Amino acid sequence: MNALAPAIVSLHDVGKTFDNGTLALDRFSLDVGDGEFVSLLGPSGCGKSTALRIVAGLSAPSAGAVAWPAGAAKLGFVFQEPTLMPWAKVEANVRLPLRLAHVDETKARAAALKALDHVGLGDFAQHYPRELSGGMKMRASIARALVTEPELLLMDEPFAALDEITRFKLNNDLLMLWQALRRTVIFVTHSVFESVYLSQRIVVMTPRPGRVFADIAIPAPYPRDERFRTSADFAGYCRTVSEALARATGGAS
């Protein structure tokens, strides 16, 4: 972790028990520094998505607390599916958060177009979601999360459903955006390679109930590109993280 950066959000001993009695998270603590790129890595069902939803305020913790040392941060959320409204054009989908906040329409349109430009979809503003490919839909979804200029971007396995070529491309674009905009990102994934490629820090979680098992820094410099993906450093980090993940899951995976 970038020790100098003040935390934008801190989770203290957060627990989450669902109505059916499932304990999803148990004494989960995490500080995320301002401007950091942190990945939550774990097997499916380890509560990493639950942790993200608790940070987003979409789910209430059953125990513990979420603190915002510098005050409540503006949030953007990217779901695993693009989650676009099929009846609205791409531009209107991206503009939605501003519309809900009653932002003046002319301003909102300009902001939506700018966000679409950021993700390389400037020419598709007037298309309907069904006319876009899977990767483009996900870009539109990211543009919508960026349109409010959030301080904290929460991403819940956003690229899990995409093919590898598209995923690599979106990984690179996400890193470029992150470096250009300097937002904080919490990225949930179950891919060791993706988390190592993207993150400054990887939080490895145990399977149900989810706890922090290891907190691994990836000190490789940015910008990272395909050369990093094929480097010995990358392979080394992946081994470290994979081993931690294997121990977290009791060697079962």
Partner 1 sequence: MNERALRIVLPIVVLALILIAWQSVVSLFAIPSFVLPGPGLVLHTLVSDGALLWHSLLVTLATTVEGFVLAAVGGIGLAVLFSQSRLIEYSLYPYAVILQVTPVVAIAPLLLIYLPQPLAVLACAWIVAFFPVLANTMLGLASVDHNLIALFELYKASRWQLLWNLKLPAALPQTLAGLRIAGGLSLIGAVVAEIAAGSAGAGSGLAYRIAESGYRLNIPRMFAALLLLSAAGIVIFFVLSAASHLILRRWHESAVRREV
Applying CB under 8 A, the residues found at the interface with partner 1 are 53, 56-58, 75, 77, 79, 81, 83, 85-88, 96-97, 99-101, 128-130, 148
**Least separation in angstroms between CB 246 and partner 1:** 31
CB nearer to partner 1: give 130 or 227: 130
**Least separation in angstroms between CB 58 and partner 1:** 5
Are the beta carbons of 216 and 201 closer than 8 angstroms?
yes
**Least separation in angstroms between CB 154 and partner 1:** 9
Other C-beta atoms lying within 10 Å of the C-beta of residue 222 = 13
Residue 226: its H or E element: helix 226-229
CB nearer to partner 1: give 96 or 162: 96
Are the beta carbons of 63 and 13 closer than 8 angstroms?
yes
CB nearer to partner 1: give 85 or 235: 85
C-alpha closest to that of 204 among 88, 50, 43:
43
CB nearer to partner 1: give 102 or 227: 102
Pairing of strands 7-17, 152-156: unpaired
CA distance 180 to 175: 8
**Least separation in angstroms between CB 100 and partner 1:** 4
